[in-house]
Every structure is written in C-alpha cells, then in structure tokens.
Structure 1
Amino acid sequence: MARDLVDENRISSRDELVGWFEAGCKPQGPFRIGTEHEKIPFYRLGHAPVPYDGRPDGRGGIRALMEGLRASSGWEPIEDGDALIGLFDPQGGGAISLEPGGQFELSGAPLDNAHQTGAELEAHFAALAPICEKLGLAFLDLGMSPLWRRDETPVMPKQRYQIMARYMPKVGKLGLDMMFRTSTVQTNIDFGSEEDMVAKLRLALSLQPLFTALFANSPFTDGKPNGFQSMRSQIWTDTDADRTGMLPFAFEPGMGFERYVDYALDVPLYFVKRGDVYHDVAGASFRDLLAGKLPQLPGEFATISDWANHLSTIFPEVRLKRYMEMRGADVGPRAHILAFTALCAGLFYDKESSAAAWEQVKGYSVGDRAALRAAVPREGLAARIGGRSLLELAREILPLARSGLVRRRRFDAEGRDETIYIDVLEEIAARGENLAQKRLALFHRAWKGDIAPAFETCVY
C-alpha cells in the first residue's frame, strides 16, 4: 500500500465493514488488473545497501532518488514527518512507496491488460534510469537481499515500520527478515459479486503454492545458498501466525464478506493513525476500537481509514480488499513481473479457464494445502499434492491460462495477444527448472561460489 489513509468518517457497526467490501464488487465490470513490485537498491560501486539519507562519502541515497523522481515525474509527495517516503500520480495512475529496508515499490495503476502493464513498467524504469546513473544505483531482481545481514540493512523513516519492527519479534522469528530483506511481485484482480469473490479466493489460495514455485527467486542469504528456492516464502511461515497463512476458513460453507470481516477483526492491530501521528497499539483489538474502548486511545472510535489501514497489515497468501491480491510470488526480472500479470488475467478473467483450473485443485483438503504450503519454499516445482508434483500441475494450468488469454483478445500495436508474456513460464514448465534453480547453478559454476556476480547478473 503506497500511503495510509486519513478518513475521519466513523464506523458505527460491523455491517459497515461488510459494506466496505461489498462496495468493491463490479457487477458490470470492467475488471482491471494491477501489478505491484518491489526491488532492492544497491550502490554499483562496492555493492553496498542504500541508506535513506545516503552515505558519509557523499553518495546520495533513497531520499535523493525519490526527490529526483518527484522532480522529473510531477507526481505528488507522500510524507511522514519531514521524510519524503512516497509519490503518487494525481491523475489516478500508480504510486511509489518504500518498504522497511529501502525496497523500492511501484504500485501500478488498475489497467486493462498486460500490454499496458508492460508500458507502465517501461516508463517506470526509464524514469529511474538517469537518476540511478547519477547516483550510482541499481536494483536487484531477486526476491531476497543476497548479501547483507539484517543489521547491515538500512531502516526507512516511516512511523508504521518502527511500530511493526518492535512488535515482530514478539510473534515470530523471521518477521524482521520479511520486513527488511525480501521483495515480491503482486497481482491484483477484481471481482463482480460476493459469489465471484469466493470462487476467485478459493482458486487463488489453491494455486498460490504453484505461483510460489514458478516464480521462486530467493535462494541466497548472507552471501551463500540458504537451502530454499523461495526463502521469501519460507520467511512468511514464521512471521506472525495471526495475520498470515492459507485462510482455511475460506473453503468452509458460508464463506463471504462477513466471514472475512470476522477474521480481520480478530487480527491484532499495529497502529491507529490520527492526523500525522501513528499511535502504537500493537497487539490491541480492532473490536475495542470499534466500540470506543481501546485502552491506549480512550474515547477514539474506528474510522473508515482505520479499517483500510488495518487490512493493509494483514498478510495471508491471498489478501482481500476491494480487490484481491495474489501474494505468493518472488519478484524477478521484468519478463517475470509481466508473466504474473498475464497468468492471473488468463486464469481469473476467463470463465472457462477458471472453471477448468478449479477442476484441477478442488479436491485438495485443508491438510493438503497446508502441507504443500510448507513444502514449496524448499522443494519448488518438485513439491507434491494429490499424488502429483507442482511441475505436473503447472503443465495442466499454464495451457488454461494461455487459452484464457487468447479468448480475452487483448492485442498490442503489433497485433500480439497477451500470451507472449507467459512464454517464460512455459519454458520453466518445459525444462522443469525455475529461476532459483538456474541461479543456484550459476552460483556453483560460473560464479564459483561467489555472490558478487549476482550484482551484475541479477539486476534490472
């Protein structure tokens, strides 16, 4: 989420929270698709991480990068106190924000197709290029920082992250690694009704481990292989059980907006924002805020912005807002970012493909999905469910995505449809080797056990 909201309209009932979700339904469409990606900056000279205010030797940092983009783009600033921590397009386009360790995020606009996402990415990187050249910066296309220890990683000046950093060690062993050392790509999709939301949520949760395996790209930590294909995904398994996971209740009878509201109400708060101040209420109950009985802020009642901000601090494998967020993939090269956009468009926006994909996964039990989620960070496409590997499942699902994209009939200026973007995934399925496996092979062979070449090879 690029910026936290300020909306003083008070919430008077649980029904209003349900209504907030219902307002996201698009019964008449159009269904849009949004792409968010994070990337880890570094100095080309020395491969050092990038602090917010730069280095003592005078090299500019994240603030200088953000100021350069602000000047060249005309986008409006997002500030936290005196710190410039984001930008947004006042014309309703995308936004740029900072993750806790300086990961630079583009939250793309809701667009019609993957071709438009490609143009958006091209414009973003073109805008970054001259500023990065001046500052001596580049970005890694890996899903986890491959070299720096957590205590070597910069900390961005955002109040909400300070609150989260204090709370994370109380509820898991790896939450700080999640905050400061990982980066992801996320695809957002729309739903037409509550029924459509439930169907898409169930399919999305069932497919998320496959997405993790296809896009696995975080095999290095502290300068060496970490034993996982997606360490980013593994980190989420020991971050905060209250707000992560596979949402088993989503498959129970009666699932709908009300059930998700009840789940979200039971997730502890991190903060309540009033004006420009983030009040640390970590561990407190949103139900108490709703009733005006929050001990830390007596007499304060929940507002619409409190609800929206709270939902942004819940981190299941698929997250529900007024749209649905696919959260299972490591970030990768530009081709992989676009592949995720196209994959989701082909599977979730074509009824025939959605129905056929559901036939492939509908027999999974809660235990099956949990076991697969536990296995996939280490095993990748070799992880098994229902008597077959994820590689076998990929070879069933990817043709469905391709067919859905053909039927969508979204063409670029050269007359090509969106299937051009999933070629990279079909190559992975054909070879049985994802990006993490390819890069591990490079580490052991061409790189000769040295992580330094990653800062030349694994970059945008």
Structure 2
Amino acid sequence: MLTIEQIMRYHSKIDVPISPKKVGIELELFCINGQNNTIVPYQVIEDGISVQNLIGYLMAYKGFSISDFTKTFELKKGQTKITLEPGAQFEFCSAPHEYLTDLLRDLHIYNLTLQELADEFKVYWLDVSYFPVGKPSDVSLIPNPRYETMHNYFQRTGKLGRDIMCYTGSLQITFDYDSLQDLEEKVNRALLLKPIFLFLTANSRLREGKDTGLRSFRTITYRNTDSSRMGTPGSEEIWNSGRWTLLSYIQKVLKAPVMFSLREKYTYQETDNKAFDSFMEDSSLSDYLFHNSTIWTDIRVRQYFEIRYLDNPGIKLIPGIIILLYTLIYNPTLWSSFLKEIPYSFNEVPQVVDLLNTASEVSDDYWKNKLMEPFMTLTEHIQRNIEPSLSLSLDPIKDKIVNYKSSDDLLNLGNDKDILYYFKRNHYSIKI
C-alpha cells in the first residue's frame, strides 16, 4: 500500500545525501525540410528525408546509440540524450551540470551537431514554441503505443492535445534542492518569476499563419487541454493562500487520471482513466513515479524540479535565460534583493501572466513602467559579476528587455513561405 507520507518522504529527499547543486535543460526544436518547408516526418515510404535518416547518421558518425525506442525514441551519447516528441520534434536532454560553463559547452556541441545535420540533409531547425503555419493534423504521430494512447486520451480532455503533441516546443530547466523547505522556497520563487520569464521567452504568437494576439499561444494549448495534469502545480487555491506546498502538488498528481495501465508497465495500455488515488491500496512508489511522469504542470517535482512554463525563446536567448534563472534560484541573497522590486504579489501571478501574454498597449505599459528597469538592473548586475566567458550571453537578454516589441514585425509577414523564411533567417538556422 502506498501512502502520501511515503511520497512526501521521497520528494523531501530525507534519505538522499546533500550534493553539489546542478542544472540541466531539455530543448525542443522542429526539423524542417529545406526543399518544401514542411516538418520532416519520422519515416517516409518513398525516397525523401526522414527523421530516421538523421538518426542513422547520428549513430553512424556521431557516436550516438539507441537507448530506448519503446517510450520516447531515445538516443544517448555519454550522459547526453536526444529524444523525439510525438510529432518528431527533436529534444536535447543535457546531463545535469554543476557549472554553467559545462552545460553551455554541451549545448554548443549539440548545436554544432545539428548544423552538421542541416548541411548533410538540407534541413533547417526552427526554435519556436508553436509551429507557425499549417495544422497539427498535417503531422503524423510517431508510430508508438505511448503516443497513440496519449493522443486518444487528449481527444477526451480538450481540443488542443494534438497541438501540444505535434506543434509545440519548449525550453525546460531543472534544478536541485536539499530538503522539503528548500524545495518549497525554490518552487515558490520559480512560480513568482513566471510572468517575467514567460514574457521574455514567449515565442509562439502565430497559429496557422495568423496573429493570435498572444505572445505565447503555447501556454493556451496547455491551459485548454487537461487541467487535471497541466497548469498550476497543485490546487488553484495556492494563489489565494499565497504559497505553493509540496502536499498541494502531490494531491493534484493523485487526483489526475491514470493515463497508462499501472499493471502492465511500459506497454502503454489505455485505462478507464480513474484517478491515481483510487489505486493507492495496490500501488507502490514506482507506480506513483510512473504516473508522475505523465504530469505536465508548470513545475514538475521529482527529486529535482523542472521549470516547464517557458517557451523556447530562440537559440540566441537560451544561454542568458539559463544564467538568469540559475542565479535567481541558487543565489538567495540576490533573490532577496530582487524580490523587493517585483511589483506584484504571489496571488496576482495568474492575472499578471495573462496581462503580459496579451500583445497590447496595456501589456507593453506594464512591462515598460513596472518591470523593465528593475529587471535590466538585475541583468546588468549579474553580467558584471559572472565569469567573462558567460557575460556575453546576457547581451541578447538586455536587447530583448528593451526591444520586447520586435516580435510585432511578424504581423507584416504575409504568406506561409514568408513566415517560415522569417524564422529561418532570424532564428536557429544562423550559422553557429
């Protein structure tokens, strides 16, 4: 029998020795056929480019080997992994690193590998968080029982599950903690920062070639698909209480429907979608951890925690975003100083997120008059005090803080070809 106390003990890391604090990332990108500007499919029947071709190249020439193709189509090289999302988006999974310089070096090596694939197969990479043209139904799901079951489940819970699976990408950053108190302090910190960092990373304004009026349409796909396992990492009451707690998170996880059979692990059978807490009598901690892997809230807790609310801001901004969050999460003195400058309270976070996510004069004024100056001051302070090899990574952030409206140029792009050319020219496909 599994109890909440056992789950609390696991997440609280009571039996885990304190170790150096590490940081890791997961980064999702779209692979695009340079000949016809379509998403490269996992497999093709006739001659053509496929993700399978790229995988074969990575295995033959870059030292990757198959680690797991039953769950997420995983390739591994050392501690670095490449997995595939349901629509064949490439996901880079870094090793956890103690030092930012090591993490960013691994990211740079991965970028060079992707550039080599681009040159070899005449593809390019889009670092956006919602594919801006076409429809998710245009993309075939990877033939895999896990993804097929997910797709069937999402058909019952909302209208945008296919969008999440095939048309979205993100940047996720993972951090360590030492204890229950440390976890709750850091997660509350990360949630309070959501309006600022979603604003800075927002990179999914277009849908089907049209302006959604939102800086991050990706956030809407999650909000309108399955609230039981997405969105707030706990009860919505945390915003009224003014604080996130681990117990609130666990209670949400336990109330979420079981997506895959717990009795036949990794066969990904469909279930009748009863809440996990109805299985507690016959479940183990490993059953809970398996179920927890199907929870996609803004923050997900394991024996580390993942910030999952970020858009993929574009490759030029990613190093700076990592540096800023790393510093704010791990430096309590700097955090205490910046906290005094945040103009909204914890219980106002959802409203400020919505305000800043709407492309409007009201949103612009709020950023310009309340957040721009204190966040620029923070960024400049961090830039002056980090090692020189990292400082230049914050220049694109400073530019975004001031020129936050530059993405409005998308409104004048015209047809689908022009839109993709814009992203190809201004985003990832620039030579590294």
**TM-score range with shorter-chain normalisation?**
0.7 to 0.9
CA contact (8 A) 1:47 1:455 kept: no
Equivalent-residue separation in structure 1 for 2:120 and 2:319 (angstroms): 28
Query: What is the one-letter code of the residue matched to 2:428?
Result: V
Select the residue among 390, 397, 405 that pairs with 1:425. Answer: 397
Equivalent-residue separation in structure 2 for 1:381 and 1:106 (angstroms): 36
CA contact (8 A) 2:23 2:175 kept: yes
Equivalent-residue separation in structure 2 for 1:381 and 1:425 (angstroms): 21
Residues 9-28 of structure 1 correspond to what in structure 2 (within 5 A)?
12-23=2-13, 28=18
Identify which range, 217-226 or 390-399, moves more after superposition: 390-399
Select the residue among 169, 174, 186 that pairs with 1:200. Answer: 186
- Deviation of 1:99 (Å): 1.0
Equivalent-residue separation in structure 1 for 2:25 and 2:395 (angstroms): 18
Counterpart in 2 of 1:62? 51
Counterpart in 2 of 1:371? 351
Residues 115-194 of structure 1 correspond to what in structure 2 (within 5 A)?
115-194=101-180
- Deviation of 1:25 (Å): 8.8
Counterpart in 2 of 1:53? 43
Residues 1:46 and 1:78: Cα distance change in structure 2 (over 3 Å): same
SS at match of 2:5: helix
Is 1:343 matched up with 2:310?
no
Residues 260-275 of structure 1 correspond to what in structure 2 (within 5 A)?
260-272=249-261, 274=264
SS at match of 2:30: strand
- Deviation of 1:447 (Å): 8.3
CA contact (8 A) 1:66 1:84 kept: no
- Deviation of 1:269 (Å): 1.6
SS at match of 2:56: helix
Query: What is the one-letter code of the residue matched to 2:11?
Result: F
Counterpart in 1 of 2:75? 87
- Deviation of 1:26 (Å): 7.3
User: When the two structures are superposed, what TM-score results if normalisation uses the length of structure 1?
Assistant: 0.83
- Deviation of 1:365 (Å): 5.1
Counterpart in 1 of 2:419? 451
Identify which range, 342-351 or 316-325, moves more after superposition: 316-325
1:294-342 residue CA offsets vs partner (Å, 9 max, x unmatched): xxxxxxx3451x3223222222222222112122221133221112211
SS at match of 2:316: helix
Structure 2: which 5+ runs fail to align? none
SS at match of 2:419: coil
Query: What is the one-letter code of the residue matched to 1:152?
Result: D
* Corresponding pairs, count: 424
Taking only aligned residues, the RMSD between alpha carbons, in angstroms, comes to 3.0
Equivalent-residue separation in structure 1 for 2:115 and 2:243 (angstroms): 50
SS at match of 1:54: coil
User: When the two structures are superposed, what TM-score results if normalisation uses the length of structure 2?
Assistant: 0.88
1:240-274 residue CA offsets vs partner (Å, 9 max, x unmatched): 11122234455648854333222211122211363
Equivalent-residue separation in structure 2 for 1:447 and 1:403 (angstroms): 42
CA contact (8 A) 2:229 2:252 kept: no
Counterpart in 2 of 1:441? 409
Equivalent-residue separation in structure 2 for 1:265 and 1:370 (angstroms): 23
Structure 1: which 5+ runs fail to align? 1-10, 293-300
- Deviation of 1:212 (Å): 1.1
Residues 1:373 and 1:70: Cα distance change in structure 2 (over 3 Å): same
SS at match of 1:450: helix
Residues 1:317 and 1:84: Cα distance change in structure 2 (over 3 Å): closer
Residues 288-437 of structure 1 correspond to what in structure 2 (within 5 A)?
288-292=278-282, 301-304=283-286, 306-361=287-342, 364=345, 366=347, 368-379=348-359, 383=363, 388-389=366-367, 392-404=370-382, 409=386, 411=387, 416=388, 418-431=390-403, 433=404, 437=405
CA contact (8 A) 2:6 2:285 kept: no
Identify which range, 187-196 or 113-122, moves more after superposition: 113-122
Equivalent-residue separation in structure 2 for 1:327 and 1:161 (angstroms): 20
Query: What is the one-letter code of the residue matched to 1:221?
Result: R
Query: What is the one-letter code of the residue matched to 2:253?
Result: A
Equivalent-residue separation in structure 2 for 1:263 and 1:25 (angstroms): 24
